Structure 1
Amino acid sequence: MKKKGLSLLLYTIYVKIIYILYDHCGHVIYTEKRIENMDSLQELWTLFLSSLLEKNLVSADSYRLWLESLELKELTATEAKIYVPQAFKINILKELYTELIETHFSAMLGFPVKVFFYHDDMQALPILELIPNQSFEKHSVIATDVLLGQGYTFENFIVGTTNRLAHSACLAVANRTAQGYNPLLIYGDSGLGKTHLLFAITNHIHKNTPDSKILYVKGEDFTNELVNILTQKKPMQYFRDKYRSVDVLLIDDIQFIAGKSATQEEFFHTFNALYDDNKQIILTSDRPPKEMKTLEDRLLTRFEGGLIVDIQPPDLELRIAILKKKAEQLGIDVPNDVLFFLADRIKSNIRTIEGAIKRLNAYSFLGNGVIDMNLAKQSIADLLERPVSTMTKVEQIFDVVSQKYNISVEDIKSAKQIKEITFARQVAMLLLRRVTELSLDEIGKLNGKHHSTVMYAIGKMEEKIKTNPSFEFEILELERELKK
């Protein structure tokens, strides 16, 4: 950044901070003298770090150990790139300090910024928009060199029996776009590696054909961007040119467009334009297309016209492999009995598995450095999965429904026919059927109902899900709550 540009940016920061101080009527955090004397990014950064100590947001020991050596190398209107001299600190900083720094540095600057940590062996280049010469809205193009440098590659995607097909399909698409599997749709629960594969494809294509126009967007952002254009009465051609001029379009969590008529209409025509022009389309979802009840049939047939592959939760062998790989990356030696213990108890998703090793590393580093079974149990006790009995899960379902609809558990289980109570009771029956392995008879006994009544109630709720996207989302949120 040139000196003139830096001065302008720091002046802007100065104005924003003085405005914030004035707006808060004398709630002084930083003095005007300290701010206006800055002439470098590092002075700004030093001022920020000092403020964390002054406000007791970090202890003196934590400050010296983790923050004191950090250097602010680049600051834009949306992000701050922070150099970490010691590579081993990066994962700990990401895990434990990202939110703290983003929250308070943004407050100091007066505008929100995302924080990126990097070391000499990682790329920290300015953001590279892979579609040049267009002013895209925030979050539209996030396939950047920063992301490409943070490990989203095929090489460090650990392959096992539960994700082998998805990995092979993505690699084939990355090597030969639009020549085989088009569209490619990957589905599976959150935290199993779908987004990793999308960025691995982006990384691979960008490395081998850097002139390719690649666009990654989340399904929710695609929808929100379209809504903004419609409500603000912006030209639709802007939106269409953006999405229909790419070589590769990747949409994460495509299920968010289901039930949204205008979004599905626009995506249908975008899909056709890209497909007819022999461009690659890659999608992810948390479920197969046929289970997206409010997805239009014309989109369903197009999705099913390509290749659909799933990613299942990792089996024991894959979980052990992931734990070993993560331990190697962090440079720590984890005994086999600890690895097996973690792999046996943490089964839900890869993100949780990786988080377990990071926390184990942090506790070890801050303690006596010895990693054993006692430390494993102590450091990640809240992550360990414990078997939940069917009756415990049943009570959880009644409790969650009770809290959601403000109906007591006693009323839900009663024979009362008040409309609101009946509705909550039917939702509970639906969740009992979906989340547990109870039969219709067993569910009926919990509510004093015949199994035919349970079947009718569940059918009624399923029908409502098909015709009411907001209710479908409501049920999905309840299911997610029960999985916590």
Structure 2
Amino acid sequence: MKKKGLSLLLYTIYVKIIYILYDHCGHVIYTEKRIENMDSLQELWTLFLSSLLEKNLVSADSYRLWLESLELKELTATEAKIYVPQAFKINILKELYTELIETHFSAMLGFPVKVFFYHDDMQALPILELIPNQSFEKQSVIATDVLLGQGYTFENFIVGTTNRLAHSACLAVANRTAQGYNPLLIYGDSGLGKTHLLFAITNHIHKNTPDSKILYVKGEDFTNELVNILTQKKPMQYFRDKYRSVDVLLIDDIQFIAGKSATQEEFFHTFNALYDDNKQIILTSDRPPKEMKTLEDRLLTRFEGGLIVDIQPPDLELRIAILKKKAEQLGIDVPNDVLFFLADRIKSNIRTIEGAIKRLNAYSFLGNGVIDMNLAKQSIADLLERPVSTMTKVEQIFDVVSQKYNISVEDIKSAKQIKEITFARQVAMLLLRRVTELSLDEIGKLNGKHHSTVMYAIG
């Protein structure tokens, strides 16, 4: 279908979903309406699934096995109900494809939707949240480890060189043997185990000292709750009593409060109240405090007054250990060569690594049950990290050198003999020789130089 036709189709569906009404005050009111025009829905759905293939977001085998038979039955302003002809596929679809479909289908529609899978007379159910949806006042208050899930413990947290310090610090805090680790701030990229450690602390303390008052909250929820109280003009005392009367406060993704003056103001006083009363504060972030550009200095100094530890992406040994542990939990036998292949090719984060084993298990279950290298490559083709092309490496090297020495790429590649430019050019040629497999002659052509000049530059 041509782009114009697609735009018209999306516009038509969007108009059918959202009705904008004006009341006597001139306010805009949005009301939902279901769309059940199956021709339009299936046309839209077919376009969407085709786009996943075209963008290489799923492999052809994954598409045929999991997505091709799905049918979009209903679409509202917030929900997409998808019929699954084969009931056994539902759990795998929920676990492996919900995020992919929600992200890209929402982008295609132009507004966010949640995905619901169902089969025949079964009620369409959403993916379960970690913490049940509750009234706003009750949300985020953790009374028992059931709400957080018993699965997040220190015992099943796989320890390696890249996360050992964070694990040790969290265990010490949970055992109340580290008075100096207050606050404890753990930072690192998404999917490396920060939230697992927070839940492990919570469950450990609750198990050993059930009377302890523990509060886990996300940085975004802390902000939203404060905004809710301020806009609805509720008494601030409730908010303050809630957060300042606990024994342990855990805030996930504290970077979310940076740049929000009212939130930082309230958190500053909450922090002081807990700290002065010798209560434990544990925080996580996706970056070190110094890189939170809009974080107030008074909070920065308090964060730096405790212990700050980082979690790095897992190294090869840790990735293999995680894969083995996950395979053991799933009750499947994965050959060592397959484990090494997966660990060597999937390096981004723990979630992706665990997802690889889940996919391998699903393909094995639906196939002949034999797990070998061919099945591994087939099942996770769209997860494998693709090798960086030589030209991409070349561009990256020129960009890095340009930024490092504040000299344009054009000048580095030019024939200019200014001292600073010549030095940057030599650095670029040295990196090109060491990082890429380009010959001296090829490197020379990139810089407009003879290979003998390259040899002199990197000699």
The bucket for the TM-score relative to the shorter chain is 0.5 to 0.7
C-alpha displacement at 1:307, in angstroms?
A: 0.9
Q: Secondary structure at the match of 1:377?
A: helix
> 1:163–1:58: structure 2 CA closer, same or farther, 3 Å change rule?
closer
* Worse overlay, 66-75 or 349-358: 66-75
* Worse overlay, 95-104 or 81-90: 81-90
Q: Deviations over 1:143-196 (max 9, x none)?
A: 754444441000000001111111111011111177331110111111110000
After superposition, residues 271-282 of structure 1 pair within 5 angstroms as 271-282=271-282
C-alpha displacement at 1:227, in angstroms?
A: 2.0
Q: For 2:252 and 2:72, how far apart are their aligned partners in 1? A: 31
Q: Secondary structure at the match of 1:251?
A: strand
Say if 1:126 and 1:145, in contact at 8 Å, map to a contact too.
Answer: no
Say if 2:443 and 2:451, in contact at 8 Å, map to a contact too.
Answer: yes
Which residue is 2:384 aligned to?
384
C-alpha displacement at 1:397, in angstroms?
A: 13
> 1:247–1:43: structure 2 CA closer, same or farther, 3 Å change rule?
farther
Q: Deviations over 1:237-264 (max 9, x none)?
A: 2211111111111001111111221111
> 1:80–1:341: structure 2 CA closer, same or farther, 3 Å change rule?
same
Q: Secondary structure at the match of 1:82?
A: strand
Q: For 2:176 and 2:30, how far apart are their aligned partners in 1? A: 55
* Worse overlay, 203-212 or 14-23: 14-23
How many residue pairs align between the two structures? 459
TM-score by length of 2: 0.61
> 1:365–1:132: structure 2 CA closer, same or farther, 3 Å change rule?
closer
Q: Deviations over 1:431-465 (max 9, x none)?
A: 99999999999999999999999999999xxxxxx
Q: Deviations over 1:274-319 (max 9, x none)?
A: 0011111000011111222221111111111111111111111100
Q: For 2:431 and 2:226, how far apart are their aligned partners in 1? A: 33
Q: For 1:113 and 1:381, how far apart are their aligned partners in 2? A: 27
> 1:27–1:319: structure 2 CA closer, same or farther, 3 Å change rule?
farther
Q: Deviations over 1:63-95 (max 9, x none)?
A: 999999999999999999999999999974751
* Worse overlay, 139-148 or 169-178: 139-148
Say if 1:48 and 1:105, in contact at 8 Å, map to a contact too.
Answer: yes
Q: Deviations over 1:305-349 (max 9, x none)?
A: 111111111111100000000000011111100000000111111
Say if 1:313 and 1:349, in contact at 8 Å, map to a contact too.
Answer: yes
C-alpha displacement at 1:111, in angstroms?
A: 18
Q: For 1:137 and 1:458, how far apart are their aligned partners in 2? A: 65
Say if 2:90 and 2:117, in contact at 8 Å, map to a contact too.
Answer: yes
Q: Secondary structure at the match of 1:20?
A: strand
C-alpha displacement at 1:13, in angstroms?
A: 26
* Worse overlay, 408-417 or 341-350: 408-417
Q: Secondary structure at the match of 1:456?
A: helix
C-alpha displacement at 1:98, in angstroms?
A: 6.7
Say if 1:84 and 1:119, in contact at 8 Å, map to a contact too.
Answer: yes
Say if 1:38 and 1:44, in contact at 8 Å, map to a contact too.
Answer: no
2:215 is aligned with 1:220: no
> 1:104–1:297: structure 2 CA closer, same or farther, 3 Å change rule?
closer
* Worse overlay, 55-64 or 295-304: 55-64
> 1:304–1:60: structure 2 CA closer, same or farther, 3 Å change rule?
closer
TM-score by length of 1: 0.58
Q: For 1:305 and 1:194, how far apart are their aligned partners in 2? A: 20
Q: Deviations over 1:44-73 (max 9, x none)?
A: 999999999999999999999999999999
> 1:108–1:435: structure 2 CA closer, same or farther, 3 Å change rule?
closer
> 1:339–1:230: structure 2 CA closer, same or farther, 3 Å change rule?
same
* Worse overlay, 429-438 or 166-175: 429-438
Which residue is 1:262 aligned to?
262
> 1:80–1:405: structure 2 CA closer, same or farther, 3 Å change rule?
farther
* Worse overlay, 352-361 or 234-243: 234-243
Compute the RMSD of aligned alpha carbons.
10.7
* Worse overlay, 220-229 or 121-130: 121-130
> 1:226–1:413: structure 2 CA closer, same or farther, 3 Å change rule?
farther
> 1:5–1:219: structure 2 CA closer, same or farther, 3 Å change rule?
farther
Say if 1:84 and 1:90, in contact at 8 Å, map to a contact too.
Answer: yes
Say if 2:19 and 2:32, in contact at 8 Å, map to a contact too.
Answer: no
Q: For 2:111 and 2:71, how far apart are their aligned partners in 1? A: 20
Which residue is 1:472 aligned to?
none
Q: Extract unaligned runs of 5+ from structure 1.
A: 460-484
2:265 is aligned with 1:284: no
Say if 1:80 and 1:114, in contact at 8 Å, map to a contact too.
Answer: yes
> 1:387–1:260: structure 2 CA closer, same or farther, 3 Å change rule?
same
Say if 1:440 and 1:454, in contact at 8 Å, map to a contact too.
Answer: yes
Q: Secondary structure at the match of 1:369?
A: coil
Q: Secondary structure at the match of 1:318?
A: helix
> 1:308–1:432: structure 2 CA closer, same or farther, 3 Å change rule?
farther
* Worse overlay, 57-66 or 128-137: 57-66
Which residue is 1:19 aligned to?
19
> 1:17–1:164: structure 2 CA closer, same or farther, 3 Å change rule?
same
Q: For 1:31 and 1:149, how far apart are their aligned partners in 2? A: 36
Say if 2:363 and 2:379, in contact at 8 Å, map to a contact too.
Answer: yes
* Worse overlay, 144-153 or 285-294: 144-153
Q: Extract unaligned runs of 5+ from structure 2.
A: none
> 1:28–1:66: structure 2 CA closer, same or farther, 3 Å change rule?
farther
Say if 1:126 and 1:146, in contact at 8 Å, map to a contact too.
Answer: no
Say if 1:426 and 1:457, in contact at 8 Å, map to a contact too.
Answer: yes
Q: Percent identity?
A: 100
Q: For 1:135 and 1:77, how far apart are their aligned partners in 2? A: 23
Q: For 1:320 and 1:369, how far apart are their aligned partners in 2? A: 22
Q: Deviations over 1:339-365 (max 9, x none)?
A: 000001111111110011001111111
Which residue is 2:454 aligned to?
454
Q: For 1:380 and 1:123, how far apart are their aligned partners in 2? A: 30
Q: For 1:29 and 1:53, how far apart are their aligned partners in 2? A: 38
> 1:22–1:129: structure 2 CA closer, same or farther, 3 Å change rule?
same
> 1:407–1:25: structure 2 CA closer, same or farther, 3 Å change rule?
farther
> 1:362–1:254: structure 2 CA closer, same or farther, 3 Å change rule?
same
Say if 1:131 and 1:214, in contact at 8 Å, map to a contact too.
Answer: no
> 1:444–1:262: structure 2 CA closer, same or farther, 3 Å change rule?
farther
C-alpha displacement at 1:230, in angstroms?
A: 2.0
